[in-house]
Amino acid sequence: MRAPLLAAATIIALTVLFSSTPFASAQAKDAPQQESAPDVPDAIAIPEGLQPVLFVHASGSQIYTCQADDAGKYSWTLKAPDAELKDRKDKVIGQHTAGPTWKLKDGSEVTGKAAGHVDSLDSDSIPWLLVDVVNNSGKGALAKVTKIQRVHTHGGKPGNDPCDESHKAAETKSTYTADYYFYSPVK
């Protein structure tokens, strides 16, 4: 009777010992973090059947051009974003550019088209967006992404630079930050 109890106690002790070793802790730290979807208004909510697969924080500029509309009224029109994309450890993993396009260092890339928006909680900031992916390339983290959300925006609206006929085609940049969540179909 003593031998089985001694064997069981040894197994328990070894399990506790190995689960608290630096090796076990390192494995847990290196495991990919499961992303959680942000709390957003219905207008930019993600439909059922998709799960968040990547989070990035963008910091950079929104670039605007002074252009006239069909009625001849001049205003600042978005030309392109230009931002670095960083992971949760603040490591640069990609770029956000014209298209709009998100390109990661792993070789994957998506281009999207706005499908919905809501005003930012900060009235001086660009809106939050729901983006439909219209093109995927590469085999990395963005390979199967079908939707993107832009949330937690700060800044990015055109400034107060004059925009009229005498400033036609002029450009201005506005600093911004935002969080992007990328979604793929549930496996």
Considering the domain architecture, whether residues 122 and 84 belong to the same structural domain is answered as yes
Instruction: For residues 178 and 131, give the distance between their C-alpha atoms in angstroms, rounded to a whole number.
Output: 14
For the cut 60, the answer to whether the pLDDT of residue 181 exceeds it is yes
- Domain containing 78: what range? 42-185
pLDDT tens digits, 119-153: 999 999 999 999 999 999 999 999 999 999 999 99
pLDDT at position 33 is 61
Q: How far is CA 13 from CA 6, 18, 28, 66, in A?
A: 10, 9, 20, 71
Please name which of 58, 59, 47 lies closest in space to residue 147, comparing C-alpha atoms: 47
pLDDT tens digits, 31-57: 456 788 899 999 999 999 999 999 999
Considering the domain architecture, whether residues 12 and 66 belong to the same structural domain is answered as no
pTM: 0.81
Please name which of 36, 33, 31 lies closest in space to residue 181, comparing C-alpha atoms: 36
Considering the domain architecture, whether residues 75 and 1 belong to the same structural domain is answered as no
Instruction: For residues 133 and 126, give the distance between their C-alpha atoms in angstroms, rounded to a whole number.
Output: 20
Q: State the pairing for strand pair 50-68/171-185.
A: antiparallel
